Amino acid sequence: MEYRILGPLDVVEDGNPVVLGTLKERLVLGVLLLHANEFVSRERLIDDLWGEAPPPTARKAVNVYLSKVRKALSVAGVDPITTASGGYRLNVESERLDASRVRVMVAEAQELVAKGELDSAAERFQEAISLWRGPTLAGLQLESRGRDEVARLDELRLTAFMDRIDCDLALGRHEQALGELGVLVSEHPLRERLRAQQMLALYRADRQADALEAYGEARRTLVDDLGIEPSEALQRLQQAILRHDPSLETPEGTAGVNGRQPTEAAPPATDAKAGEERPRTPFRPRRWQLALAGVILLAASAAVGVILSESAGATPRILPNSLVQLDPRTGKPILVKQVGIEPAPIAITPTAIWTVDDTEVSRYDLHFHNVDTSPITSHSGLPFGIAFDRAGNAWITSASESQYAPRVNAFLTRVTRGPGVTGPGVVDPGQGLLQTIRLPLPMAGFEALGADRLWIITGPHGPLPGDNRVAVVNLRTFQPTAIPLDERATAIAYGYDTAWIGTYGDTPDDSRLEAIRAGQSKPIETVLEKHGAGWGPLSIAVGDGAVWVVTYSSRQLFKINPITLQIEHRLDLSAEEPGSVAVGAGAVWTTGAHSVTKIDPRTDTIIRTFPIGVGFPCAIAATSTTLWVAIDGRPC
């Protein structure tokens, strides 16, 4: 049996996922796995499940949850949980728990660094990093000390990233490291080690101005957020860049600037035939290229009367039909990339931002900073949604243009990176990277991914007769299983081991949220509004301990408890005209007709509404530190 906690909690037996039951049962298992092969007291479990205010029945409830966890894990006929006095121990072989395997890999990689075998160390670090599928125990909110233990594992992941980047820089792979560093710095803006790595990589790539601007941005962030100046080490690095310190061109880089002893390099390679040492090619920045580029740029700008100032720090201008990264603190655009026509859904991966428009999928590469597009299908289709699986495949749902016929054709397109393809972007279908599957469904609409399945709305979206179902598609067989819904669906999301579907009915004209728990087939219904305007929820997002729903008729943001399904709060956003909702970067975000609104998830109040000058924000997505909006040229 395989246990996975580096991401959503998963248990796999003989390649098949084990159904783990309710949220509390998964929390119990998560705590036991954080302390695999260790004694965990019942009081500790109570603390991590309820914190400082456990219910009077907590001890009895823990016993019930443990009993159900035992049953789920005993599919192979062996109960892995042993009972001790007042506590429990989950017995797990170290190679069958991803967290244990990662610790071993990182320790091995660090030993290779100490020996000077940097190439092998970088590979081992990357193998460890690849075991993470997201934040540790994603979707499970632990109380008490469990949060600290989860944070330690997530810190180990970031440390492995930084250690591997150190290896890459020492090996002269600064160009390859820049894209990844840009993402990591945006996610961890207060980490000075990442800032130093980014500055060094930019300097070695003959981008001295950008390296100094990176220092300036680091200083502004530290002063604005913490009221402190950069560390002496970071200041010394800035000064070394200004004076072209030769130590920056050595493999040791920042270590040489700060007077630390460099890691001893591996011995030179030996030519087996001649028996002579074959010296390694030293790293030498291409300063002549920077000078030549400057002459060319000055000449070109003089010829057309334009001054080029890309690194001057000017705020980019928002354009219609573009993907825009906004600063979560100020709402100002950080980056603007034009993509497709009328982009709508946004999907975020560690390496790229994806959008879907009327006919194409667009991919903005976070490493190469370019946009590539490709037709979604060979037929003329109308795409709806996009989602990603753990293997990095993009799944796009679409339907034929005859969508207003009683029955239409439903399609599912998989976008993959084919063998031997190393460049950025989506490659054309002729290389076999696009696979279109026709689904035996009346329609393929909006989608969500969860429990290794695609959850797809099958009925038409609007005042058309539909079959009121959600299709659950197995990504290995592409065979859908239909789950009946009480009403017609308009929006869908997945989180907290539950599929959340927004629906509405004609009699009465209600707006509702239907929840389908993992392993179950009957939805649980929550009525949001009665006698609405003939339309269900516009958008659903999951995160920060709640399910967030934007409705059409009253333009409200509903906060739903994912366990009790009770409405915890309603926020009137009629003045903002909300359309889409996302959770991340420390807030809940909604798009308006010409604005983006930032909401505090703890107080359920509006923090600020940021105006969007040009175009219409039609989709929004967020990570823990970044915010992305798709800007349409026409109303959504």
Tens-digit pLDDT profile for residues 406-448: 445 677 777 665 433 333 333 333 333 556 767 766 667 788 9
- CA-wise closest residue to 588 among 554, 550, 618, 634: 550
The tokens for 604 are 């359920």
Please tell me the predicted confidence (pLDDT) of residue 429: 32
Cα 292 to Cα 299: distance, rounded to the nearest angstrom? 11
Q: Please, are residues 249 and 283 in contact by the beta-carbon 8 Å criterion?
A: yes
Start-to-end CA distance of the chain, whole Å, equals 47
Would you call 129 exposed, middle or buried from its count of C-beta atoms within 10 A (0-12, 13-18, 19+)?
Answer: buried
pLDDT at 39 over 70: yes
Please tell me the predicted confidence (pLDDT) of residue 499: 94
Least confident of 74-83, 309-318, 349-358, 591-600: 309-318
Least confident of 264-268, 427-431, 495-499: 427-431
pLDDT at 187 over 70: yes
Please tell me the predicted confidence (pLDDT) of residue 489: 87
Could you tell me which residues are beta bridge partners of residue 605? 600
Report the SS3 class of residue 188: coil
The one-character DSSP state at 509 is -
Q: Please, are residues 325 and 630 in contact by the beta-carbon 8 Å criterion?
A: no
pLDDT at 467 over 60: no
Cα 3 to Cα 16: distance, rounded to the nearest angstrom? 12
Higher pLDDT, 534 or 288: 534
Domains of the chain with CATH codes: 2-114 (1.10.10.10), 172-261 (1.25.40.10)
Q: How many Cβ atoms are within 10 Å of 156's Cβ, its own excluded?
A: 19
Q: Which pLDDT band, with edges at 50, 70 and 90, does 558 fall under? A: very high
Q: Which pLDDT band, with edges at 50, 70 and 90, does 461 fall under? A: very low
Per-residue pLDDT tens over the stretch 199-248 = 999 999 889 889 999 999 999 999 888 888 899 889 999 998 988 887 78
Please tell me the predicted confidence (pLDDT) of residue 519: 79
The one-character DSSP state at 430 is G
Please tell me the predicted confidence (pLDDT) of residue 442: 65
Mean pLDDT of 440-458: 81
CA-derived radius of gyration, the chain: 27
Q: Which pLDDT band, with edges at 50, 70 and 90, does 262 fall under? A: very low
Least confident of 13-17, 287-291, 556-560: 287-291
Q: Please, are residues 249 and 204 in contact by the beta-carbon 8 Å criterion?
A: yes
Least confident of 162-176, 200-214, 338-352: 338-352
Q: Please, are residues 266 and 115 in contact by the beta-carbon 8 Å criterion?
A: yes
pTM value?
Answer: 0.52
Mean pLDDT of 499-518: 84
- CA-wise closest residue to 251 among 165, 169, 194: 169
Report the SS3 class of residue 543: strand
Task: Read off the amino acid at residue 619.
Answer: A
Q: Which pLDDT band, with edges at 50, 70 and 90, does 571 fall under? A: very high
Cα 312 to Cα 599: distance, rounded to the nearest angstrom? 32
Please tell me the predicted confidence (pLDDT) of residue 513: 93
Least confident of 161-175, 359-373, 402-416, 535-549: 402-416
Q: Tokens 């819904």 label which residue?
A: 485
Cα 222 to Cα 231: distance, rounded to the nearest angstrom? 10
Residue 105 CA, distance from chain mean position: 24
Please tell me the predicted confidence (pLDDT) of residue 532: 58
